[in-house]
Amino acid sequence: MLLWGYSPLKSQTAAPESAPNRQQTINWLTWEEAMALYETEQKKLMVSIYTNWCNWCKKMDAATLGEPQIAALVNDYFYPVKLDAQCLEDLTFKGKIYKNRNEGSNSYHDLAMELLLERRSFPTIVFLDERLQYIQAIVGYKTASEFETIASYFGHNNYKRTPWSAYAKNFKSVLSLEKNR
């Protein structure tokens, strides 16, 4: 039985908190791993764009993306990717090779800048659909509760049929259900 609209397990059945196969953390992928998986199964991507010097990025990783319910949601509906906006390696996306702009200590990777629409704001979570088309970028730190609503909205494809304001107003959080137990 699904109390909150998504299951913490791939089997689509709710599991007790002590179930050994319950996902407790996000299964982060490299860009290359996500692209390889995408070749076998088309699934949405959730790209967390960060920098090593960004304290809000670290806080969001720990306080928001570290929540087990958030991890279950993300793992079920997305290929989750961590992308350092200043990484030095070449990355391929849709047949194009992206490189670091190599501007010294302020260098940024072309793929990160394209996904960020050239806005250097961190953390930013970018959602891409099953065809690798841009859905939306969510800029800045979000609490677990805020992020749960956002990820559920995109994960369940509600963005295609329901205005954000109506969805957010009526969303029932798993996090609040868990805390009230």
**How many C-beta atoms surround the C-beta of residue 133 within 10 A?**
8
Mean pLDDT of 154-180: 85
Proportion of the chain above pLDDT 90, given as a percent: 77
Burial of 137 (0-12, 13-18, 19+ CB in 10 A): middle
Helix (H) / strand (E) element for 134: namely: strand 134-139
Residue 103: the pLDDT is 72
Does residue 159 register a pLDDT over 70? Answer: yes
Does the residue 26 lie in any domain? Answer: no
Report the number of distinct structural domains present in the chain: 1
Determine the average pLDDT of the residues in 35-42.
97
Residue 18, domain member (yes or no): no
CATH number, domain with residue 89: 3.40.30.10
Whether residue 22 lies inside any domain: the answer is: no
Assess whether pLDDT exceeds 50 at residue 5: no
DSSP state letters, 61-126? IIIITTSHHHHHHHHHHEEEEEEETT--S-EEETTEEE-B---GGG--BHHHHHHTTT---SSEEE
Chain-centroid distance, C-alpha 83: 11
Does residue 14 sit within a domain? no
Is 20 inside a domain boundary? no
Residues with Cβ within 8 Å of 138's Cβ and at least 6 positions away in sequence, in order, are: 124, 125, 126, 127, 147, 150
pLDDT value of position 24 = 84
Which has more pLDDT, 125 or 13?
125
Asked which of 11-20, 94-103, 106-115, 116-125 is least confident by mean pLDDT, the reply is 11-20
Does residue 69 fall inside a structural domain?
Answer: yes
On whether the CB atoms of residues 31 and 45 are closer than 8 A, the answer is no
pLDDT at 13 over 70: no
pLDDT tens-digit map of 161-173:
999 999 999 998 8
86 CB-side CA count, 13 A: 14
pLDDT at 131 over 70: yes
Mean pLDDT of all residues in 93-99:
96
- Name the residue range of residue 84's domain: 31-179
Residue 20's pLDDT is what? 41
Instruction: Please say if the pLDDT value at position 102 is more than 90.
Output: no
Angle between helices 68-77 and 144-155 (to 10 degrees): 20
Contact by Cβ (8 Å): 27, 73: no
Asked if residue 166 belongs to a domain, the reply is: yes
Rounded CA separation 154/26 (Å): 17
**DSSP code, position 160:** G
Question: For position 8, what pLDDT does the model report?
Answer: 33
In a domain, 73, yes or no: yes
